[in-house]
């Protein structure tokens, strides 16, 4: 999409891609390309809106746990389907393919002979450790962790070999191809005393590769900071197409050998910086990361902790220098809050109540409750938190910008930020069990939005008050 999560709003498991979010495959299809998507897990399936604008979208029935429990759609399966589809296209037809594989994820169980390349073969007892929610605060033994890392590396080796076969067959057809390889996240293996992903925003989670190869691309390492939001506009530009990314930047001039700023430093003149803001509210966490080269500021709202590191001297962010650089950290925090904005305004006197979120006002944390006067502004994070207001013994709300409703005319609150509606992807018991098995949900967790009366749910998402 070329958008950050704070822009498109899809920040939790119950939300699908809204219809107003532009997607790269639409640009390619409109540009005369045949389009194919092949995916290997639930979160990038048609259920969550990823099938839009593909001439052929194959999610292999992964909405059915029996067909996709614990990564049973392997990389070679996705790649072979893609090749078969490509072979069916008329000669000379330009093609765009999006291929997503899930092998390098739980349960780290590569097929033979890859599952013994770096360590013993997996055994039944290993399954005990496959839910990282249970071990998020209690690390597994050093021996078991070493085995898990070996299994992870075995999955990488398997996918690498399957990808090699895909590319060699594509090259064998004589077609030119531009290839982009990336990942949506990394994995923690004890660096912060935990493991897995989604609950922190440290470099081992967010610093992922982006590798491009193809005709006209110069062999090089681009020093400028880039983010995954840059992929869509860059790939479109390399094909001679225009993609209006609201957050992402086109990196094609540097890739094609043109002039570029090879420094990862902070640009001047208000130029956008890629991967500036990151946030997560997964697994009962609420964490923000703000970047100003060479510093990363980490705000752990849940645990009331702040971290600051210098990526130039400490690229893994292992040393917290916030205490000795408090003034600079506070300045960065103010700019972070300025980026988020105070998108709520009180129209009456009352008392706010926020569920599953935190109130900030004038850059100060207010927790879940705040007395307000008319004209007071405030921010609520994350965007799918529920906001109510107590006025004269009456409770009004809840409003929920991401996935629910927002207040309209005559309401005690006004909201001016991003909201999405009709974007809830309700999960069946089977799908919820599948997500628990791969560590995305904890047992008993309910990621569904608060119930909103049907008569209050309109396509606009704005509901007027009486």
Q: Which sequence spans correspond to the domains of the chain?
A: 5-255, 344-463
- For the chain, state the CA radius of gyration: 23
- pTM here is 0.88
Phi-psi category of residue 61: left, alpha or beta, with phi > 0 → left and psi -120 to 50 → alpha? left
pLDDT at 449: 40
Contacts of 14 (CB under 8 A, 6+ apart): 403, 424, 425, 426, 427, 447, 448, 449
d(CA 160, CA 313): 31
pLDDT tens across the length of the chain (466 residues):
999 998 999 888 778 898 889 999 999 999 999 999 999 988 898 989 999 999 999 998 765 545 554 447 899 999 999 999 999 999 999 999 999 999 998 778 899 999 999 999 888 777 655 555 566 667 778 888 899 899 999 999 999 999 999 999 999 998 899 999 999 999 988 888 877 887 889 999 999 999 999 988 988 898 888 999 999 999 999 999 999 899 999 999 989 876 555 455 555 445 578 889 999 987 778 999 999 999 999 999 999 999 999 999 999 999 999 999 999 999 999 999 999 999 999 999 999 999 999 999 999 999 899 999 999 999 999 998 999 999 999 999 999 998 788 999 999 999 999 888 777 777 777 777 767 666 666 655 544 444 443 433 344 478 899 7
DSSP 211: E
Tokens of 203: 């470099």
CATH of region 5-255, choose from 3.40.720.10, 3.30.70.380, 3.30.70.360, 3.90.230.10:
3.40.720.10
Q: Please answer whether residues 333 and 397 qualify as being in contact, where contact means their C-beta atoms are separated by less than 8 angstroms.
A: no
Q: Please answer whether residues 255 and 178 qualify as being in contact, where contact means their C-beta atoms are separated by less than 8 angstroms.
A: no
pLDDT at 269: 47
pLDDT at 349: 97
d(CA 249, CA 243): 10
Instruction: Name the one residue in this structure whose structure tokens are 């997560």.
Output: 280
Continuous segment of H or E residues that includes residue 308 = strand 305-310
Q: Please answer whether residues 415 and 408 qualify as being in contact, where contact means their C-beta atoms are separated by less than 8 angstroms.
A: no
Tokens of 312: 């130039």
pLDDT at 423: 74
401 to each of 356, 364, 387, 404, how far by Cα in Å? 13, 21, 9, 6
Q: Please answer whether residues 81 and 38 qualify as being in contact, where contact means their C-beta atoms are separated by less than 8 angstroms.
A: yes
In sign, the C-alpha dihedral spanning 235, 238, 244, 246 is: positive
Q: What is the DSSP string of 342-411?
A: --EEESSSEEEEEESSEEEETTEEEETEEEE-TT-EEEEESTT-EEEEEETTEEEEEE-TBTS-EE-TT-
Query: Number of C-alpha atoms within 13 angstroms, CB side, residue 249?
Result: 15
In sequence order, the β-bridge partners of residue 378 are 344
Residue 402 — φ and ψ, nearest 5°?
-100, 95
């Amino acid at each position: 999409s070329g958008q950050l999560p704070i822009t498109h709003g899809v920040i939790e498991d119950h939300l699908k891609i809204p219809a107003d979010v532009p997607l790269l495959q639409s640009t390619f299809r409109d540009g005369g390309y045949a389009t194919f998507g092949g995916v290997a897990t639930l979160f990038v399936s048609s259920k969550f809106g990823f099938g839009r604008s593909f001439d052929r979208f194959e999610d292999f029935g992964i909405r059915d746990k029996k067909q996709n429990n614990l990564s049973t759609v392997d990389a070679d399966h996705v790649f072979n389907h893609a090749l078969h589809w490509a072979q069916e296209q008329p000669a000379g037809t330009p093609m765009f393919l999006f291929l997503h594989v899930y092998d390098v994820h739980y349960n780290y169980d590569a097929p033979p002979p890859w599952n013994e390349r770096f360590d013993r073969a997996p055994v039944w007892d290993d399954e005990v450790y496959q839910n990282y929610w249970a071990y998020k605060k209690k690390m597994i033994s050093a021996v078991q962790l070493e085995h898990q890392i070996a299994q992870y590396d075995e999955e990488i080796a398997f996918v690498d070999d399957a990808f090699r076969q895909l590319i060699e067959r594509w090259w064998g057809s004589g077609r030119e191809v531009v290839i982009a390889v990336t990942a949506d996240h990394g994995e923690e293996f004890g660096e912060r005393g935990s493991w897995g992903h989604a609950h922190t925003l440290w470099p081992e989670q967010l610093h992922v590769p982006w590798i491009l190869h193809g005709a006209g691309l110069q062999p090089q390492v681009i020093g400028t900071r880039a983010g995954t939001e840059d992929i869509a506009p860059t790939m479109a530009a390399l094909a001679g197409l225009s993609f209006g990314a609201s957050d992402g930047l086109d990196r094609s001039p540097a890739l094609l050998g043109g002039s570029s700023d090879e420094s990862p430093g902070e640009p001047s003149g208000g130029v956008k910086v890629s991967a500036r803001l990151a946030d997560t509210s997964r697994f009962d966490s609420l964490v923000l990361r703000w970047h100003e080269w060479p510093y990363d500021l980490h705000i752990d709202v849940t645990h009331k902790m702040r971290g600051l590191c210098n990526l130039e001297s400490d690229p893994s962010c292992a040393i917290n220098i916030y205490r000795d650089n408090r003034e600079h950290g506070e300045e960065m925090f103010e700019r972070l809050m300025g980026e988020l904005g105070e998108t709520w305004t009180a129209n009456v006197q009352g008392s706010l109540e926020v569920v599953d979120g935190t109130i900030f006002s004038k850059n100060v944390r207010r927790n879940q409750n705040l007395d307000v006067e008319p004209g007071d502004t405030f921010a609520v994070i994350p965007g799918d938190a529920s906001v109510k207001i107590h006025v004269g013994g009456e409770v009004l709300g809840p409003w929920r910008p991401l996935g629910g409703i927002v207040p309209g005319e005559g309401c005690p609150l006004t909201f001016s930020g991003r909201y999405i509606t009709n974007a809830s992807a309700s999960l069946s018991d089977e799908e919820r069990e599948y997500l628990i098995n791969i560590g995305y949900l904890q047992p008993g967790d309910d990621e569904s939005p608060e119930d909103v009366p049907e008569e209050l749910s309109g396509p606009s998402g704005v509901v007027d008050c009486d």
